[in-house]
């Protein structure tokens, strides 16, 4: 009997088999009984609970704190109101009703968290519906700690609206439907509304909800998603998948238009003027900072301000620093005239050669700053971490073909254009992470939303390249998850310290029911208010907040409650009306808020305002500490001196 030697398989075949087995393990499907919906719900419930168990949340901006106060009827409002300014009045009605039923509940924070939860459940549900494997859960968990948890721990309505819009788009356009539909089938669906399944209906509701939270954020996400839909239309064998969604889209558009119209109608009849239009004009001076986009000589500036609104330079500086309570001086018409004149001067050739040269040099420097801002946006830690997660997801889940390349190119070009627009609008202020962060969250999630069920041959296509690319990016992902969690922990410790500091400040102020604090911009650390904390500590704390809400009927009701008819005059004459300023506002030469107020009183009323002692710092931080921006400083009392000049405005 002859012996036959075993022939060993080639080494290359063994290596390929080893690599294939690695991919197979990553592609192991979840148990059949684990349906996508229940897995998405349970996974997000666990991740949300773990995030709030380990870390402490805060509001990302003071805007959310202000809207919470308005909805709850605290601090800057005498009673709950539906007019939240930045959010649709329909949501305001819901929050107002909830606060009237249970005033001690943190309804505003819970509404943001509930929206984020619904959006993330929708996103993971769509991903698992497209590819129900372990790797999807692993990649989603990495996304969550890199990006999703940040939105939970820095609650902000713009970010919430953005992620809700992405969740709605996932349900409407990325659920797996057959690409080839018989023509009669989609026509029948269109006429009988059979295409309106529960996921699609929930997607419509999520879209409308996102639109009502923050219209601009919703439209921004839609703009980024549009190129992906275009690529899918080009490669699809049939348009049935899109036509099937027409009833849902029509319902969503109608509901959004209805919500927008109702919101506009209510605000147009709120108070004596169109506050929304007025607030947008103010943002041109405050957010876009149109004044600093051109170079003006003192003579040109005086001419523009005089002709546009009969303003002085101090009047303009008061507006730029959030004190525009003078209803006769700061009107919609005067703001429009000054704004238009400043825009004209940005591109107009000046008669003065030196001024023209300075303006051209200034425009060049602004373009350079925009270029640097754009680079900084895409090279920030959060952006790099998001691209690392996206790279791992793309290597493990997307095929290498022209369709995937067009998906990637279309989205990245749109992302770059949207970021460029945002950076241009906010060039002369801090980078708006609340706007850019959701964009990078989209970067993380899109490869998982675009994955397809491929054959085993396609799965192992270019396995070596996939594993090498995944290994490199996976290292960055581990670093990203670790660094972000360390950052969350450090921020949580600071939040707890800030909460104690806020309690100390309130106790030191000892507010009482007949006292009105005038908080100038960031003069009081409202951002230290914890999202889920009780507002009982502010029961006797009443304030006029010199910010986006100062000219609203809600603020006027607060002034009437304290008998204030002219806030400029009453700050210096009424003993129960006092300033709250930060140390930063009082000490920095370019701010000097009390000095600005004093100049205004001299110009308009011909009276000098002095600080009548009693001024004190309300924290224990050393004055030499450079990070003193939000330490509260209270001007004990202001008093009037003699009248050295002829006033521009008659005395009250």
Instruction: Give the pLDDT confidence of 213-271 residue by residue, as tens digits.
Output: 999 999 999 888 888 777 777 666 555 666 777 788 889 999 999 999 999 999 988 88
So what's the pLDDT on residue 557? 94
CB atoms within 10 A of CB 409: 12
Contact 152, 52 (CB under 8 A): yes
- Contact assessment for residue 488 and residue 149, using Cβ atoms and an 8 Å cutoff: yes
pLDDT of res. 375: 86
Are the beta carbons of 165 and 210 closer than 8 angstroms? yes
DSSP state of 566: -
What 3-state DSSP class applies to 637? coil
Q: What is the pLDDT of residue 543?
A: 92
SS3 of residue 351 by DSSP: coil
Model pLDDT, residue 350: 64
What's the token pair of residue 640? 């009037």
Three-class SS state of 167: helix
Residue 92, pLDDT score: 96
**pLDDT tens digits for range 75-130:** 999 999 999 999 999 999 999 999 999 998 999 999 999 999 999 999 999 999 88
Q: Please name the residue that has the structure tokens 């140390």.
A: 583
Quote the tokens at residue 589.
Answer: 């030469």
Task: Output the CA torsion 561→566→572→576 (10° steps).
Answer: 0
Please name which of 197, 218, 205 lies closest in space to residue 255, comparing C-alpha atoms. Answer: 205
Report, as ranges of residue numbers, the positions in the chain whose pLDDT lies below 70. Answer: 1-33, 177-196, 234-242, 347-352, 397-404, 428-429, 431, 452-473, 583-592, 609-652
Predicted local confidence at residue 401, as pLDDT:
65
- The candidate with the shortest Cα–Cα distance to 123, out of 448, 506, 522, 575, is 448
pLDDT of residue 646: 54
- In the block, tokens 């997660």 appear at 389
Residue 305 near residue 312 (C-beta atoms within 8 A): yes
Q: CA 534 to CA 611: how far, in whole Å? A: 35
Return the pLDDT at 617. 41
Q: What is the pTM of this model?
A: 0.85
């Amino acid at each position: 009997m002859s012996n036959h030697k075993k022939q060993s398989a080639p080494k290359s075949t063994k290596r390929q088999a080893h690599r294939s087995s690695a991919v197979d393990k990553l592609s192991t499907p979840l148990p059949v009984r684990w349906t996508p919906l229940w897995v998405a719900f349970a996974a997000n419930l666990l991740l949300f609970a773990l995030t709030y168990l380990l870390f402490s949340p805060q509001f990302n901006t003071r805007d959310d704190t202000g809207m919470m106060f308005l909805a709850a009827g605290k601090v800057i409002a005498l009673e709950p109101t539906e007019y939240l300014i930045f959010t649709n009045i329909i949501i305001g009605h819901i929050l107002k009703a909830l606060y009237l039923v249970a005033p001690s509940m943190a309804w505003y924070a819970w509404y943001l968290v509930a929206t984020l939860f619904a959006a993330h459940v929708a996103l993971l549900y769509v991903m698992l519906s497209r590819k129900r494997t372990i790797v999807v859960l692993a990649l989603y968990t990495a996304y969550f700690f890199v990006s999703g948890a940040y939105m939970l721990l820095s609650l902000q309505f713009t970010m919430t609206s953005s992620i809700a819009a992405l969740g709605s788009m996932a349900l409407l356009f990325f659920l797996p439907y057959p690409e080839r539909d018989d023509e009669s089938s989609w026509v029948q669906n269109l006429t009988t509304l059979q295409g309106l399944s529960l996921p699609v209906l929930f997607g419509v509701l999520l879209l409308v909800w996102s639109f009502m939270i923050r219209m601009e954020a919703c439209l921004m996400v839609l703009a980024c998603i549009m190129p992906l839909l275009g690529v899918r239309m080009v490669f699809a064998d049939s348009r049935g998948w899109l036509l099937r969604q027409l009833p849902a889209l029509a319902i969503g558009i109608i509901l959004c238009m209805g919500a927008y119209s109702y919101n506009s109608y209510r605000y147009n009849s709120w108070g004596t003027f169109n506050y929304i239009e007025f607030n947008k004009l103010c943002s041109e001076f405050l957010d876009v900072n149109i004044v600093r986009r051109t170079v003006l000589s003192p003579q040109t500036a005086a001419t523009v301000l005089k002709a546009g609104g009969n303003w002085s330079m101090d009047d303009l500086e008061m507006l730029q620093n959030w004190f525009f309570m003078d209803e006769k001086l700061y009107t919609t018409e005067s703001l429009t005239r000054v704004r238009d004149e400043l825009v004209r001067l940005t591109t107009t050739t000046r008669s003065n050669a030196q001024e023209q040269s300075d303006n051209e040099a200034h425009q060049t420097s602004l373009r350079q700053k925009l270029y640097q801002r754009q680079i900084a946006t895409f090279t920030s830690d959060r952006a790099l971490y998001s691209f690392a997660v996206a790279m791992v997801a793309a290597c493990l889940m997307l095929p290498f073909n022209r369709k995937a390349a067009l998906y990637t190119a279309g989205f990245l070009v749109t992302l770059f254009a949207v970021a460029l627009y945002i950076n241009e609008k906010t060039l002369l202020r801090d980078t708006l992470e609340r706007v850019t962060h959701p964009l990078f969250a989209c970067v993380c999630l899109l490869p998982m939303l675009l994955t397809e069920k491929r054959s085993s041959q396609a799965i192992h296509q270019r396995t070596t390249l996939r594993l090498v690319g995944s290994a490199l990016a996976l290292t960055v992902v581990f670093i990203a998850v670790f660094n972000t969690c360390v950052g969350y922990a450090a921020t949580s410790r600071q939040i707890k310290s800030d909460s104690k500091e806020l309690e100390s400040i309130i106790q030191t102020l000892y507010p009482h029911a007949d006292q009105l604090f005038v908080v100038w911009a960031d003069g009081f650390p409202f951002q230290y208010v914890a999202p889920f904390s009780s507002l009982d500590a502010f029961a006797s704390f009443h304030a006029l907040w010199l910010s986006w809400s100062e000219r609203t009927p809600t603020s006027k009701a607060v002034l009437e409650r304290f008998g204030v008819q002219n806030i400029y005059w009453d700050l210096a004459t009424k003993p129960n009306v006092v300033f709250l300023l930060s140390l930063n506002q009082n000490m920095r030469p370019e701010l000097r808020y009390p000095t600005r107020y004093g100049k205004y009183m001299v110009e308009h009323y011909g009276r000098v305002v002095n600080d009548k002692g009693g001024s004190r710092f309300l924290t224990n931080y050393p004055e030499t500490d450079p990070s003193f921006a939000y330490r509260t400083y209270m001007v004990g009392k202001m008093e009037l001196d003699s009248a050295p000049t002829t006033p521009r405005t008659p005395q009250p």
